[in-house]
Amino acid sequence: MTSIERQKRMKTIDQFFPAFTNAQIVHDFFGWWPTLHDSEVIEILLDREFGFDFTGPKLRLTLYLPQGSKLVLLFENIELDYITDFNYQNAMADFLMETYDRLNQNRYRVKFGEFGAMVEFTCAKVSVLSIESFTPADYFGTEGKQKIEQES
């Protein structure tokens, strides 16, 4: 199956949210399951615990959602296919997912990115770590100029 055929088969994240650990806080916050369309990647953190952590590598993803909020997701036991082009604006058209079976284990395939960060990986588990109201810094308006002057 080609990458394009696979992408056509994938669905948006809102169809998978209910299966995530602690996902109810997202529904409680918005009143619905968001698609993450037009969200922006703020942070991607890859972590492989050293020692006796047998849960596998993790990816923590922090997103700014257009509804004025910040969402933090944790993907566990990941296998990263690629991550490219992380820059000053990492907007996504859609956050796509699908389930599949590998070695008799249910896994998720995750793909997102449009302008800036492009990411694809698989994982065994997804958890919602937090959701909160969030206003990005206004570096180009009055507040941003004042902040830059204070930091100088």
Three-class SS of 76-120: ECCEEEEEECCCCCCECCCEEEEEEEECCEEEEEEEECCECCEEE
Please state the pTM of the whole predicted model.
0.83
Condensed to tens digits (0 to 9), the pLDDT of residues 59-118 reads 999 999 988 999 999 999 999 999 999 998 899 888 899 998 877 778 999 999 888 899
